[in-house]
Chain A
Amino acid sequence: MADETTNTAAPVAATEGGSSSSAPSSRPDGGGDRGPRGPRPGGRPGAGPGGPREGGRKFFRRKKVCKFCVEKIDGVNYKDVRLLGQFVAESGKIVPRRLTGVCTPHQRRLADAIKQARNIALLPFSTR
Chain B
Amino acid sequence: MQRTYELMFIVRPDMTEEDQDKLVATLEGHVATAGGTVKNVERMGKRRLAYLVRRFQDGIYVLMVLEGDGAMVKELERRLRVTEPVIKFITVRVDEEQKRLAKVKALRDAKVRGKGTRAAAAEAAAAAAAETAATAPADTTPASV
Contacts and interface: CB of A to CB of B under 8 A. Distances in A.
B50 A123 contact: yes
Interface residues of B, number: 19
Interface string A110-125: 0000001011111111
A71 interface: no
Contacts of A72: 108
B57 to A, nearest CB: 10
Interface in B40-86: 47, 49-51, 53, 59, 63
A122 B50 contact: yes
Nearest to B104: A74
A116 B53 CA distance: 16
A123 B48 CA distance: 10
A75 interface: yes
Contacts of A75: 97, 100-101
B134 interface: no
**Chain A interface mostly helix, strand, loop or mixed?**
loop
Given A75-B97, A125-B51, A120 B108 contact: no
A78 B92 contact: yes
A47 B52 CA distance: 36
Contacts of A120: 8, 10, 88-90
B88 A121 contact: yes
A118 B101 contact: no
A74 B90 contact: no
Interface in A81-128: 116, 118-125, 128
Nearest to A123: B50
Given A119-B90, A125-B51, 14 more contacts: A74-B101, A75-B97, A78-B92, A79-B63, A118-B50, A119-B88, A120-B8, A120-B89, A120-B90, A121-B10, A121-B50, A121-B88, A122-B50, A124-B51
